[in-house]
Amino acid sequence: MSDDRIELRGLRARGRHGVLPAERELGQEFVVDVSLTLDTRPAAAADDLSRTVDYGSLAGRLVAAVEEDPVDLLETLAERLAGICLAEPVVEAAEVVVHKPSAPVPHPFADVAVKIRRSRL
């Protein structure tokens, strides 16, 4: 597996995920970080976008996935996003972090997040 990475951090999208009725009704902002493992040498050698990941296009698909089809758990959303990343043919592995900065936690906190790493088998 390559040591090369493409990282997209702080991608923001509004979704209606959560187990509480108010979360589904009102929605809230989610923040997504992805780190993609791939061999960037073919793209660099040819200076060819088609040999790497178009992170602008990927960002659009990730935002759409956050905005659509509410789920209860951040774990479920993270799996959905990892699947989108791994659908890119050149991606060997994806680390996905889904942050829920406005999670319904009754104490002061900086962040709630779920982090997963998935790879092709």
Inform me whether the pLDDT recorded for 121 exceeds 80: no
d(CA 31, CA 81): 12
Q: Sorting pLDDT into bands at 50, 70 and 90, what band is 119?
A: very high
Provide the pLDDT confidence category of residue 91 given band limits of 50, 70 and 90. very high
Q: 5-119 adopts what CATH topology?
A: GTP Cyclohydrolase I, domain 2 (3.30.1130)
For residues 30-65, b (16+ Cβ closer than 10 Å) or e, as one string? bbbbbbbbbebeebeeeeeeebbbebeebeeebbeb
Q: What is the mean pLDDT of residues 15-33?
A: 96
The verdict on whether 115 is a catalytic residue reads no
pLDDT band at 1 (very low <50, low <70, confident <90, very high): confident
Residue 19 CA to residue 87 CA, distance in Å, equals 28
Active-site position among 100, 103, 107, 118: 100
